[in-house]
Structures are given as structure tokens and as C-alpha cells.
Structure 1
């Protein structure tokens, strides 16, 4: 069975449930929970997020996808264990956490899966199907290892090797993540008007939590932007057959993160460098900038972090011998 997380707009997804009479909403939710109907329970959770979630219908597609996957996995686990979703046992939720940990999932990943299951039960309570709140008291072990240690940034040599083997699209995307520190979703959402290589500024309009910011370009990124615009921007280069590039408002031709991952992964493979995703590029930007400015606040602003603690824990680190010069002569 192929699971479709949602079709059309979030508002339409919400109305599929909110347009129901209260009794019918409850009846359908009870039936779907009893049948462990994965698609319907994902749809119900999505409708709840769009109707009652903190961001409502502005909830990002990536959040919807993450919750949909988490709900799907929990419902499949419940089916395999013959659990009653509407009347869960006292230990069912903690047993689910234990199963995830025993399967090798990191505590942070378990937390994401539990958040999806919690949202499912909020949706079921919203629909009037149950009063159960089985994940209220679950315990997930804390991982004391900093994120920067578990998932380190790309090195200077790795990035140099990949840039040498990248095509124009991949190179520009890599500069946006590893120099501007943009999230992949922020980079793919850029429009041509958001780039100002003359003043070396990027206007990020679709940051996390819908917060915008202005990001400074490095010299290399500004140069790459000029080259990229000359080839693919409005009035760009002429092709061999006489055609001219006629782009839309979006900067990248990549339609999704998966497509971008495929193309950038090819550049990494050609360079013989393991591709570990886009975040190690952001971590490179954070760590290199911190070594220069030694100010977590400024680095957090560059990366678009609301909390400096987020930057400190997972995105930037000073070298172990960073204080050698300061301590010399003691």
C-alpha cells in the first residue's frame, strides 16, 4: 500500500474532517483507530495539525511529512503488537520507546517518533474518540554527546574536493549551505530577487518558523552567484541551438529536497567524499565563522537560530586547542 501524506492544500485536508458533524467525526476516528487504518489516521493527524497546531495551515510540508511518517510507524507497531489504540495499556507507550531504542535509534530520533505519536493521540482526543494520553509520562534517555561531535561538519578539504567536481547548480547550492549557512529548504525556496551579489546579501523569506532574515555572502558565494545568474537568471546565457534560458521566479530548478540530494550526492561521489546530507555544510559555516568572530550570538544570527544554545550544542565548535594563544605566557 502506498501512503499519500496529503493531497491538495492543508486547508482542504482539514475540512475533510472538520466539515463532519461531531458524531460522525467521532465515529470515523473510532473506526479508523480500531481498524488501525494507517492512511486515515495520518489524515486525521494532519487535519489536527492544520486546524489546532501552532502554525495551523502554515505548517511546513517537511513537518507534515515527518509527523505522517511517525504516525505511520507507530500504527504499524501497534498492529504488530496487537495494541488497542483507544485503550492502550499502562506500559504500551514506554514499550514503544524501548523498541525504538533497541532497534538502534538514537534518543533524538526516538523523540521525533514519540512527538508524532503524541500528536496522533491529541488528534484522537480532538475527534472525541478517546481520552487516552499514553505518552504523557514516557521517558526517553538523554544523549549527552553534542550534536557537533555525533554529526561533525564537512572539512575544508572535503568541500574543496567536492567543489572541484561539481556542476554549476551543485556548486552554487553547496556555497549557499556551507558559506551562507542556509537550510536546504531555505536555499531551494530562494527567488532571484532574494539574491543581491552587489551588496553581498541574501534575503531569506522562508526561514524556520516562518522567520525571515538577511544573510551576508562570502566573497566566493558572491562570485558564484554572479556566475549562476549569468547562466540561469532572467536574460541568461544563450544555448547552442539559439534558445535562451527563461527561468521562473525560483532560483533552483530542483523541485524537491530529494532531487537536490541526488544531484549533490553525485558530486560528492565523483569527489570520493561521503555525502552526509546538507546539515554538515551548515555546521561547517557555523564552526568556521565561530573560529573567526568568537561570538556565538553572531553565529546564531547567521544560521537563523532562535537560541544560542542550539548553535552551541550542535552547529559550531571551537577547536580543542583554541585557547593556546591566550594561555601562552601564563
Structure 2
């Protein structure tokens, strides 16, 4: 069995990665009485203490974020990194965090755009910086809300154009080179259309190859759904279960020490990426992330069913517009047959 790479911290920050117990990480702030909470937040902002301000933002997310202590690890990591980057920028530009100038927030947006960051990425960083300020207001350190009226240009290029799906040939080439676990993971993303976090969270009881169904217990926004399997995926699931399922010869390789019967040995997205990238490299295919696999599933299904609503349900999208903009596209000549008799 190929050894997995060590887990790494968030690039560019010394803050330890989210470890599963979000509540425990927040007690250094929530255990303080109001005056001490305010004093420490003021001190951290005055000194532009990156670690302290990121921890404060995380504490706010755990107690007042939309999902509270159920906030996903990826969201926690993204906000932590975004807060860290804004504080670093503020230190370099001598921005007073507690009393920011009228143009400081918009200048931060301009700085990121000028550096070549895409509008969608800038929007995410603005969201993280705005969350930092919500945390500072929660702590009583300031009343400032500099990102309230900030404008970020819209990116008019559809997501599926910026980051297109993998092609049929690319998927086939990678499947030919992938090991058993990487192959099964690719099937789950490219046929079932699962998010990588959904795939890695699967337990054996969630897979029903006989009924050709997958039970996603906690999708985006903690929403569960049932996903249909393709014939190929059902066949791959039977083969995979025979090797790695309970009682299989490789069962220990598919089990993590998390107290649950996990389908994959991969403990994180980073580890899964490490293994799947090897398969893409061996196949001579450029790895563009896991989402192009979901887009392959969406586009192929749309070409068959011609129904954005059904495709959105398969992918777990709350809005059909999300599917239409970024995850599924019809061929340019899709109306050719319909127009042939005009």
C-alpha cells in the first residue's frame, strides 16, 4: 500500500488545521467575561496578531455563524486563511483595524484584483475579512463595518467555461491507470457527481449497489440526499466492497481510526488529491481538481435527460441556476435535430 503524505497546515499560516472539535478550539475566547473578551480582542487588533485574530474569527463562526459548531472544516479553513491574509495585508499597509479608513476595504479589493486574483476568489476573501469584523464587533472591540458596502466586480464568464468538465476520453484514460481506491473515488465524483467531501465521508452502510443507490448523509449545508448509481459504478462498488468492505482481504486499508467504518482510507481531501493526482499524471491528463468530475457527471446527464432540475437534484444543488451556470452544459448543436424540420 502506498504511504500517504503527512497532513499539512493551511498554507501561509501557523494556525493548526481544524481537527473536528470546533467547540473546543473556541473556548479560549468564549470562556472570557465580556470585559476581558473586549480587552484581548482590542489588543490582538492593535498588534495585528494573526493567530489571535484567526482564533477569534473561528470562535465567532462556532457561536454565531449560520451553522454554528456544525460549520464544515473546509469553511473554517477558508475563513481562517482569508482572515490571516487580510491581517497580513493590513499590517503591510498600516491599516488601523479598529478604526479603518473609509477607503481601506475597497483598496483591499483593488489590491487583490490588481494582483490577478479572479473576482470569485476576491469575493471569498472579502467574506472572510467581513467575518473577522463581525467577530471584532461581537467581542466589543469596535463598531467598524468596513466591508458592508464594498463592491467586487462580477465575473461574467460561466464557471463551466472557466473550469470545464473532464472529457470522456480523459476519464477513461485515468480509470485505466488508477489503483482500486483512486478508481472508485473517480467513479463517485464523475458518475454519482459527489463532492469530494461527500465521497470521503461515506460509510459502507451508505452504499447500496444492489438497489443502485448512495445515501449522502451530510451534503453541502448538511443536507442529505439519495443519489442513483450508474451501472458501471454499481459494478465498481461490488468489486470495491469485495476487497475493502467488512470481511474483505483489504478491509484494514479502507478503515480509518475515527471510530466509524469509513469507505476510504483517505483522512482528508489533501491526501485524496495526492493519490488521485498520481493516476492523472500516469494517464498524461492534467488534474484540474475534483469539481470537473462533478461537471462531467452534470453535463453527461443533462445531455441524456434534458432537465436541469433533475441534474440539480443529482448533484445536490439547492438552485437550478447553480447547475446551469457552472456544472452542466448542452452541446452547441443541441437544437440541430429540433430545428431540422423548420
* Shared fold, TM over 0.5: yes
Q: Secondary structure at 2:66's aligned position in 1?
A: coil
Q: Secondary structure at 2:226's aligned position in 1?
A: strand
Name the counterpart of 1:57.
Answer: 69
Select the residue among 42, 45, 64 that pairs with 1:30.
42
Query: Does 1:306 find its partner at 2:332?
Result: no
Name the counterpart of 1:327.
Answer: 339
Q: How does 1:1-330 map to 2 (within 5 A)?
A: 2-6=14-18, 9-237=21-249, 247=255, 249-330=261-342
TM-score (norm 1): 0.96
User: Could you tell me whether the CA contact under 8 Å between 2:126 and 2:147 is conserved in 1?
Assistant: yes
User: Could you tell me whether the CA contact under 8 Å between 1:176 and 1:221 is conserved in 2?
Assistant: yes
CA deviation map 1:216-246 (0-9, x unaligned) = 00001001100100001001027xxxx9878
State the distance in 1 between where 2:252 and 2:264 align.
16
User: Could you tell me whether the CA contact under 8 Å between 1:45 and 1:119 is conserved in 2?
Assistant: yes
Q: Secondary structure at 2:157's aligned position in 1?
A: coil
Residues 265 and 7 (structure 1), Cα distance of their counterparts in 2 relative to 1, 3 Å cut: closer
- CA shift, 1:7, in A, is 5.5
Unaligned regions of 5+ residues in structure 2, if any?
1-12
State the distance in 1 between where 2:38 and 2:331 align.
57
Residues 21 and 245 (structure 1), Cα distance of their counterparts in 2 relative to 1, 3 Å cut: closer
Q: Secondary structure at 1:144's aligned position in 2?
A: coil
CA deviation map 1:197-228 (0-9, x unaligned) = 00000000020000000000000100110010
Q: Secondary structure at 2:221's aligned position in 1?
A: helix
Q: Which runs of 4+ in 1 moved over 3 A?
A: 5-8, 243-248
User: Could you tell me whether the CA contact under 8 Å between 1:234 and 1:246 is conserved in 2?
Assistant: no
User: Could you tell me whether the CA contact under 8 Å between 1:121 and 1:133 is conserved in 2?
Assistant: yes
- CA shift, 1:311, in A, is 0.3
Query: How much is the aligned-residue C-alpha RMSD, in angstroms?
Result: 1.4
Residues 30 and 277 (structure 1), Cα distance of their counterparts in 2 relative to 1, 3 Å cut: same
State the distance in 2 between where 1:309 and 1:264 align.
30
User: Could you tell me whether the CA contact under 8 Å between 1:5 and 1:68 is conserved in 2?
Assistant: no
Unaligned regions of 5+ residues in structure 1, if any?
none
- CA shift, 1:300, in A, is 0.2
State the distance in 2 between where 1:152 and 1:177 align.
15
TM-score (norm 2): 0.93
User: Could you tell me whether the CA contact under 8 Å between 1:118 and 1:135 is conserved in 2?
Assistant: yes
State the distance in 2 between where 1:315 and 1:46 align.
31
Q: Secondary structure at 2:117's aligned position in 1?
A: coil
Residues 83 and 258 (structure 1), Cα distance of their counterparts in 2 relative to 1, 3 Å cut: same
Count of residue correspondences: 326
Residues 46 and 148 (structure 1), Cα distance of their counterparts in 2 relative to 1, 3 Å cut: same
